[in-house]
Amino acid sequence: DTAVSQTPKYLVTQMGNDKSIKCEQNLGHDTMYWYKQDSKKFLKIMFSYNNKELIINETVPNRFSPKSPDKAHLNLHINSLELGDSAVYFCASSRLARWDYTFGSGTRLTVV
């Protein structure tokens, strides 16, 4: 069983579209994250939710909206996609104040 699963794995879309990436974890973790890896392979946190509450919200355009229906899911919705949004987006989960980070396999988003 996949511990942290993201869908889709690849997403190609046109500028201006709205898209969502889904993330689910079956580890019983209470905290979930979205990270963005840019073209230079640099990873940076975007959001973190603990028990469905937003606890980290880095400087991210408000076109990006995370949604956590329960503590096992953290979805990322992106409005009005731009070319610069092209990147690999990683979901991760952990237990708060613990170090047991587990990453998803990533979603490669290409905006054309």
Partner 1 sequence: KNEVEQSPQNLTAQEGEFITINCSYSVGISALHWLQQHPGGGIVSLFMLSSGKKKHGRLIATINIQEKHSSLHITASHPRDSAVYICAVMEYGNKLVFGAGTILRVKS
Q: Which is nearer to partner 1, 14 or 40 (CB)?
A: 40
The answer to the question of residue 99 lying near partner 1 (CB under 8 A) is yes
The answer to the question of residue 44 lying near partner 1 (CB under 8 A) is yes
Binding part of the chain for partner 1, among 12-20, 41-49, 60-68, 71-79 by CB under 8 A, reads: 41-49
Residues from 19 through 38 that contact partner 1 (CB under 8 A): 31, 33, 35
Question: How long a stretch of residues is the chain?
Answer: 112
The answer to the question of residue 3 lying near partner 1 (CB under 8 A) is no
Peptide bond into 8 cis (omega under 30): yes
Cα end-to-end span (Å), the chain: 34
Query: Order of strands, edge to edge, in the sheet holding 73-78?
Result: 4-7, 19-25, 73-78, 64-70
